[in-house]
Chains A and B, each alone.
Chain A
Amino acid sequence: MTQRPSASLEQGSALSPQLKRLKLGTAGLKRAEEAGGGPESGPGPGELCPPGSVSMHRTDRIAPGTGISLNLPRLQVSELGSATSGQEEKIKIYVPGTVVIFHLRRVGAIWNSLVRAWEAIKLFNKFKSIRNSTGDVIEFHGPEGTGKTEMLYHLIARCIIPKAEGGLEVEVMFVDTDYHFDMLRLVTILENRLVQGTEEMIKGCLGRLFLVSCSSSTQLLLTLYSLENLFCAHPSLCVLLLDSLSAFYWIDRSNGGESLTLQEMNLKKCANFLEKLVTQHHLILFATTQTLMQKSANSAESFLPLKLPHETDTDYRPYLCKSWQQMVTHRIFFSKQCNSGNSKGFTVVSCHLKRNQIVKRPFSVAECGVQF
């Protein structure tokens, strides 16, 4: 393992006055500014850092072979505590996606935990059109009985199963607004996916899942505020699932009276705060919405531009507030095929809104969950 003595020490001395003694918490993260540094400065991955210094590096293509290229932006490493050479020091790395505190000597561990945290973001391997950037917001849209909640179970199972069994071993927060979450079904899926489905293993997996139920849109908003602390305390919590953002639609609409702004106010606040959470803590948000409205036959009424080809085959009519619609980066439509001859009974159409890419995949629901 090579060590770079002089270059990194100079940079270390340049950086440490700026980033000394950062405290934990989002306030500290906000004030950490990205210091300058050329590419390939400091020791590369897997190399030891000399004590008392900071290192930075930049990489491309963390995940070869998956067809997804990731750009890891520059890391910032800051010192926590006094610099005492010869002892292990705790330093904190601020990377979009995680906050990791580790000991200075084990830079190999830095690499592993970064890879792990970043891998947590690439969940949809099959959807090659979905690129990974920080703060993805994915909306599942579809009529009832088309497998949206089932797809969420598939995602949860994928996330909480340990790495040894093929999962991602990250923590997941599930916000349930319409009480559709069935723990027994999730346990069945886990039992079928794990090689040995023992109680302890399942409980270990379930320990990575956090569940919260909300009974009104006001409570949803307040719960999101109180979850902020949870996100800070658990750095590996990077997936947020929201089952049914549209569960309160009619109740809010009736409570708001005549004015559209009042009707949409709660949902707008929720959407804005979700955006803030997603960008600050670098989460991925999957939200389900229900097809409550019928698509009008008059094409002049549709809000989306007509050039999107999916308009013609999906029954989508936007009814949630504008700030939510603008926040969504991918919209995935679920539909069910009525023909009994087809073994794959459900279809998923994924649209990347910024890039107008459409991917269509059939899937079926089996005992072990969703199968593509």
Chain B
Amino acid sequence: MVVLQAGLCPGLTEEMLQLLRANGIRTVVDFVSSDLEDVAQKCSLSYKALVAVRRVLLAQFSAFPANGADLYEELKSSTAILPTGSPSLDQLLDSGLYTGELTELVGAPGSGKTQVCLGIAASVSLGLKQHVLFLDSTGGFTASRLYQILQAQTEDEEEQLEALQRVQVVRVFNIYELLGALQELRDRLSQQAVSSVGPLKVVLLDSVSAVIYPLLGGRQSEGLALMMQLSRELKTLAREFSLAVVVTNQVTRDSSTGQLKPALGRSWSFVPSTRVLLESKEASWERACTQRAASLAKSPRQVRLPGSIPWECRDLALAPVGVGQDPASQGGHWRGACAPWLDAAEEKSICSQQRGLVFIGRINEWHHFQSRSLCSWCWSRSPDGVWAVRVLWKWL
């Protein structure tokens, strides 16, 4: 509720304000929704001036509609798909974490949510050399474990240190600290200060239920309002600055059907666009480690939900079990990930607006691209010399 004040917009003078207030018009909403002819008569103000003020107020306070084609252009260049560090999890998520969206990992305690988050942080900071923000609300983040994961992926100590430096950890233990940290992040990103924190791509929140649970319960709706406020903040951050936001959540059992469902109730269940359920199955006695399974519970894109993929938590962090694929053999062209691109990128910046992986095609389809979508390396490798690329990709 924005209250009308002098100087809020040109043309809104103090005298006008007094007259409007005398007639009960105090806020912007009152002004905009009232019939201006009536107001002009009652307050003896000029109709034209009122119309001009109304137009300026509307332009200032309302959202501006965008055309679909312009938005599509913008999204094509700014959306990126980030690998999670495990190729099979990437396949589950339709090639990775999409920026601009909120992904939720749900699972019982001990099912490996923090491990997946650490794996994502390691892969983004080491593989893509982008910055990561880890908001820890449970105290489950240990730098030594992250270091272990990085050590398993690369031998070079320099790189390991650099990757560690790119992960920023903020400990937040209640909702207000969390909202404050997000506000600080927003200020930093909107100023675009080229400081020690470079281009941020992922925000990991582990876990959201730990901050929200103390607020829920009872008959007050304030807890729910704070939860929705948090969800808005996360989603607007993801949209505006094209980040991928990952949150972890716990599970509860549905009282009527007995199935597992994500915690925090119905209102939260509408918030994430993608949901992955992590379960740990009790292993047989011969195996040393427990089998874990990840399944996709909700996705805006996957129409055939692939079945659950088994994975193990080892030193390699999320090494795929039983799938037998390594990224090099997966084929396909990913701007930013094929080996020749990486070599060339070190020599010179080919794609100056590179912000992570950009997905360029679906399975078994030929796509004709403009040159801006592919770097010259990938282009020259196209199989038949036609300006086209065939994307190879395996489903489970």
Contact = CB atoms under 8 A, between A and B. Distances in A.
B is bound to A: yes
Interface of A: 143-145, 149, 160, 173, 178-180, 182-185, 187-188, 202-215, 218-219, 221-223, 225-227, 230, 244, 247-248, 250-251, 253-255, 269, 273, 290-292, 294, 365-367
Nearest to A172: B68
A182 B301 CA distance: 9
A145 to B, nearest CB: 5
Interface stretch (B109-117, B127-135, B266-274): B266-274
Given A182-B300, A184-B79, A209-B67, A290 B270 contact: yes
A212 B67 contact: no
Given A178-B270, A215-B236, A254-B225, A221 B68 contact: no
Given A250-B224, A253-B225, A367-B303, A225 B75 contact: no
B232 interface: yes
Contact of B71 (A183, A225, A250, A292): A183
A218 B1 CA distance: 7
- Among A173, A182, A219, which residue has the most Cβ atoms of chain B within 10 A? A182
A210 B68 contact: yes
A226 B62 contact: yes
Given A205-B68, A221-B29, A223-B63, 7 more contacts: A149-B300, A207-B68, A210-B65, A250-B228, A251-B228, A254-B226, A291-B266
B66 interface: yes
Nearest to A203: B69
A207 B67 contact: yes
Nearest to B268: A144
A219 to B, nearest CB: 6
Contacts of B33: 221, 225, 269, 273
A219 B29 contact: no
A258 B281 CA distance: 47
Interface in B243-289: 266-267, 269-271, 273
B58 interface: yes
The 6 closest A-B pairs by CB, nearest first: A209-B68, A254-B225, A206-B68, A222-B62, A212-B65, A223-B62
Contact of A213 (B57, B63, B68): B63
B395 interface: no
A269 B225 contact: no
24 contacts: A144-B266, A173-B65, A178-B232, A180-B300, A184-B98, A185-B301, A187-B72, A206-B67, A206-B68, A211-B68, A213-B239, A218-B61, A219-B62, A221-B32, A221-B33, A222-B28, A222-B29, A222-B58, A248-B228, A250-B225, A251-B229, A253-B224, A254-B221, A254-B225
A189 B361 CA distance: 14
- Among B59, B68, B238, which residue has the most Cβ atoms of chain A within 10 A? B68
A218 B101 CA distance: 24
B72 A183 contact: yes
Contact of A212 (B29, B64, B238, B303): B64
Given A214-B63, A215-B232, A251-B225, A225 B58 contact: yes
A212 B63 contact: yes
A280 to B, nearest CB: 14
B355 interface: no
Nearest to A187: B72
B72 A206 contact: yes
B268 to A, nearest CB: 9
B221 A250 contact: yes
A366 B62 contact: no
A366 B302 CA distance: 9
Interface of B: 1-2, 28-29, 32-33, 57-59, 61-69, 71-72, 75, 79, 98, 101, 221-222, 224-229, 232, 235-236, 238-239, 266-267, 269-271, 273, 298, 300-301, 303
A207 B225 contact: no
A180 B255 CA distance: 29
B269 A180 contact: no
A215 B32 CA distance: 18
Nearest to A145: B298
Nearest to A206: B68
A251 B229 CA distance: 7
A219 B61 contact: yes
Contacts of B224: 250, 253-254
- Among B2, B62, B303, which residue has the most Cβ atoms of chain A within 10 A? B62
Contacts of B68: 160, 183, 205-211
B85 to A, nearest CB: 23
Contact of B69 (A173, A207, A222, A244): A207
A269 B62 CA distance: 15
Nearest to A180: B273
Contacts of B222: 254
B370 to A, nearest CB: 8
B266 to A, nearest CB: 6
A179 B63 contact: no
Nearest to A227: B65
A230 B64 CA distance: 11
A253 B226 CA distance: 11
Contacts of A366: 303
Given A209-B68, A211-B65, A253 B266 contact: no
A149 B299 CA distance: 12
A254 B216 CA distance: 13
A251 B303 CA distance: 33
A353 B66 CA distance: 34
A187 B221 CA distance: 38
Contacts of B228: 247-248, 250-251
A219 B312 CA distance: 47
B75 A269 contact: no
A203 B67 CA distance: 10
A226 B58 contact: yes
Contacts of B266: 143-144, 290-292, 294
A211 B228 CA distance: 22
B388 to A, nearest CB: 14
A166 to B, nearest CB: 19
Contacts of A247: 228
A14 to B, nearest CB: 31
A184 B75 contact: yes
B62 to A, nearest CB: 4
A4 B1 CA distance: 60
A261 B224 CA distance: 19
